[in-house]
Structure 1
Amino acid sequence: MIVYAECEFIIPSAHSLKEKRAVLQRMITRTKQKYNVSIAEIDHQDVWQRTLLALVSVASTQQAAEKELKRAIAFLESYPEWQCLNIHQEFL
């Protein structure tokens, strides 16, 4: 089963693309290391304080894939340098 999610974040402390990318790269790397998900920025690459991340989890059951994706999203939401604006989730 495949579970897909898009998470939109705002990074209020970022005052340049360099600062945004530092925060983003740190969180993408940590998420990949801790959880069995694929993650990438899919929109707002040229905007300083905003990002849209796509996460995908694949497992043998829908429950296992959804559980891993929710754990990764909870980890991302717990990071104090940004705020989650929106989450959209789909089962494929």
Structure 2
Amino acid sequence: MARDDAGRVHHGVARVDLHLPGIDSLKGKRALVKATIARLQNDLGCAVAEVGYQERWQRAALGISTVSGSATGVDRVLDRLTAIVERDPRVEVIDVVDVVDVLDADPPL
């Protein structure tokens, strides 16, 4: 870790919009989304939640959050998202939007 990163909290969030073309029920969608969330959590150690399109069969939006002691750690996680999701041929990534920021150790008083 770089010396000037000491005590800083680097964090990143992403929204991943998905198309699930072979799904024909909410039950099928929920199973596929649940498996995708588990894969992201296991492979990346990040927090994941379904954040949009809960009542649409073939669409889903996932919110993903990660924290690291370095900017490189956050970038590494966010850069791998799409590849991990697309391992399942039943899932198509439509869009990924991410934001990275840093929280300093000594906030102004």
CA contact (8 A) 2:68 2:74 kept: yes
Structure 1 unaligned blocks of 5 or more: none
Deviation, 1:59, is: 0.1
Q: What is the aligned length? A: 92
Task: Determine the C-alpha separation between the residues in 1 that align with 2:89 and 2:30.
Answer: 16
> Which structure 1 residue ranges, 4+ long, deviate > 4 Å from structure 2?
none
Q: Percent identity?
A: 25
TM-score by length of 2: 0.79
Instruction: Deviation per CA, 1:8-44: give whole Å up to 9, x if none.
Output: 0000110010010011111111221221211110010
TM-score by length of 1: 0.92
RMSD: 1.1
Structure 2 unaligned blocks of 5 or more: 1-9, 102-109
- Indicate yes or no: 2:90 matched with 1:81: yes
Task: Determine the C-alpha separation between the residues in 2 that align with 1:30 and 1:74.
Answer: 11
Q: Find the partner of 2:24 among 5, 15, 19.
A: 15
